[in-house]
């Protein structure tokens, strides 16, 4: 047994802790590099929302959840500290980022309209879906409405009609599949809100439009992360069918790791400045990398969020300005840690409460 000089206590437990933390960091890196960590399981595997999720206490006190909570605490603190510090002192970097944002933001409306145009053409061609691949419908008029919406979004002045159409299809999906199921996809309401605001009010309201889009995209990803904790069993057949996806890791561990990565990336996307762009870029890489693995269904299903993430990479996050105003980066970072775990508790509680309200189980 090795002892530290002058202390007489073994260093092995310390080395074990450091080794464990290093392995957790490696796992997070693996999640980032995995081509299918964020594939939407409902598109590729059986699911049943009538089946109750894992009990909340079973999730929290599971084998890996609290371990990841402990690991994420310093990760969030350091990330937020560096982000606020850069925002306050890295003047050259901030000037460069501002120039990029000022150049890109006037073109964001065009990019998003183009993305929505291509997406609506694709789902119109498929002909039997409401917004995403698992939302199948027998209503024949849906494909023609989507085609009309695709044509309307081309022109800025008529894009608000496409926004109304997206909201209408969202309501139709709620009618057919229930409101709890559609809590997976508030990003479509974010896109609709962005198109409506920009079409009707133009650049004078662009900051509001981008903020709504950012928040509802973040909420979509927070919810998806929570679903991985509550329903990991949905993904187990997919992981068994495609063992390369989990790289040999225990499926339980893999799903907790994937859930934390998605939840954390979404939280950063909504709250910080430079790190929000990095988180958006990582998510973009992962969603794009899943396409060769899962094919055209994944490309169509994720096309809107891919376009939105490109927009978020190159646009300013006004929510971060509140935290950047802190004189002490340490205080801001500590607040970020509190907000992160408050969000984890709030989204978790809301997920289980919403499921009980929707299905009574």
Q: What is the chain's alpha carbon radius of gyration, rounded to the nearest angstrom?
A: 22
Report how far Cα 280 is from the mean position of its chain's Cα atoms.
9
CA dihedral 275, 280, 285, 289 (to 10 degrees): 140
Phi, psi (rounded to 5 degrees) for 332:
-65, -45
Q: What is the pLDDT of residue 244?
A: 66
Q: What is the pLDDT of residue 12?
A: 47
Backbone phi and psi for residue 36, each to the nearest 5 degrees, phi listed first: -135, 15
- CB contact at 8 A, 69 and 337: no
Of 113, 105, 126, give the one whose Cα is nearest residue 161.
113
Per-residue model confidence (pLDDT) at position 156: 95
- Tell me 133's DSSP state: T
Of 311, 289, 310, 308, nearest to 299 by C-alpha is 289
Predicted pLDDT of residue 47: 82
pTM, two decimal places: 0.87
φ, ψ for residue 112, nearest 5 deg: -70, -40
Report DSSP state, residue 48: -
Q: Which long-range contacts (CB under 8 A, 24 or more apart) does 47-53 make?
A: 47/134, 47/231, 47/234, 49/178, 49/180, 49/181, 49/355, 49/358, 49/359, 50/359, 50/361, 51/361, 52/355, 52/359, 52/361, 53/230, 53/231, 53/351, 53/352, 53/355
Helix and strand totals (H; E) in the chain: 15, 0
Q: What is d(CA 38, CA 225) in angstroms, rounded to the nearest whole number?
A: 9
Q: In angstroms, rounded to a whole number, what is the distance separating the alpha carbons of residues 308 and 317?
A: 14
Give me the DSSP letters along 219-276: HHHHHHHHHHHH-GGGGHHHHHH-TTTTTT--HHHHHHHHHHHHHHHHHHHHH-SHHH
pLDDT of residue 8: 41
How high is the pLDDT of residue 20?
45
67 half-sphere exposure, CB direction, 13 A CA radius? 15
- Among 172, 207, 167, which residue's Cα sits nearest to residue 187? 167
User: With contact defined as beta carbons under 8 Å apart, do 302 and 287 qualify?
Assistant: yes
User: Digits of tens for pLDDT over the chain (361 positions)?
Assistant: 333 333 344 444 444 444 444 444 444 554 444 545 555 677 777 788 889 999 999 999 888 899 999 999 999 999 999 999 988 888 888 899 889 888 898 999 999 999 999 999 999 988 889 998 889 998 999 999 999 999 999 999 999 999 999 999 999 999 999 999 999 999 999 999 999 999 999 989 999 999 999 999 999 999 999 999 999 888 888 777 776 666 667 888 888 988 999 999 999 999 999 999 999 999 998 888 877 777 787 788 889 999 999 999 999 999 998 888 888 889 999 999 999 999 999 999 999 999 999 998 7
Query: Domain spans of the chain?
Result: 49-359
């Amino acid at each position: 047994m090795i002892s530290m000089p002058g202390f007489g206590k073994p260093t092995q437990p310390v080395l074990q802790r450091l080794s464990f933390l290093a392995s957790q960091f490696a796992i997070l890196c693996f999640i980032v590099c995995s081509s299918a960590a964020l594939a939407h399981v409902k598109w590729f595997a059986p699911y049943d929302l009538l089946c109750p999720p894992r009990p909340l206490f079973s999730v929290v006190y599971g084998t890996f959840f609290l371990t990841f909570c402990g690991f994420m605490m310093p990760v969030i603190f350091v990330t937020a500290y560096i982000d606020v510090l850069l925002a306050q002192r890295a003047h050259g970097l901030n000037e460069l980022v501002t120039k990029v944002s000022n150049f890109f933001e006037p073109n964001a409306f065009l990019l998003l309209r183009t993305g929505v145009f291509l997406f609506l053409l694709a789902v119109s061609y498929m002909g039997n879906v409401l917004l995403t691949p698992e939302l199948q419908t027998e209503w024949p008029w849906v494909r023609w409405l989507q085609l009309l919406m695709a044509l309307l979004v081309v022109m800025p002045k008529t894009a608000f009609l496409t926004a109304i159409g997206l909201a209408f299809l969202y309501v139709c999906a709620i009618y057919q599949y229930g409101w709890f199921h559609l809590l997976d996809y508030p990003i479509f309401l974010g896109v609709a809100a962005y198109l409506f605001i920009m079409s009707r009010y133009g650049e004078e309201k662009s900051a509001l439009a981008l903020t709504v889009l950012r928040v509802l995209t973040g909420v979509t990803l927070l919810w998806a992360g929570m679903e991985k904790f509550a329903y990991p069993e949905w993904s187990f057949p997919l992981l068994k069918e495609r063992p390369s996806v989990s790289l040999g890791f225990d499926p339980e561990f893999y799903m907790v790791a994937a859930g934390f990565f998605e939840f954390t990336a979404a939280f950063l996307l909504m709250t910080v400045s430079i790190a929000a762009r990095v988180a958006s870029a990582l998510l973009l890489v992962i969603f794009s990398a899943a396409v060769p693995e899962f094919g055209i269904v994944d490309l169509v299903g994720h096309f809107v969020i891919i376009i939105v993430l490109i927009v978020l990479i190159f646009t300013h996050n006004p929510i971060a300005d509140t935290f950047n105003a802190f004189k002490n980066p340490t205080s801001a970072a500590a607040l970020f840690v509190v907000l992160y775990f408050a969000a984890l508790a709030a989204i978790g509680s809301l997920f289980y409460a919403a499921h009980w309200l929707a299905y009574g189980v």
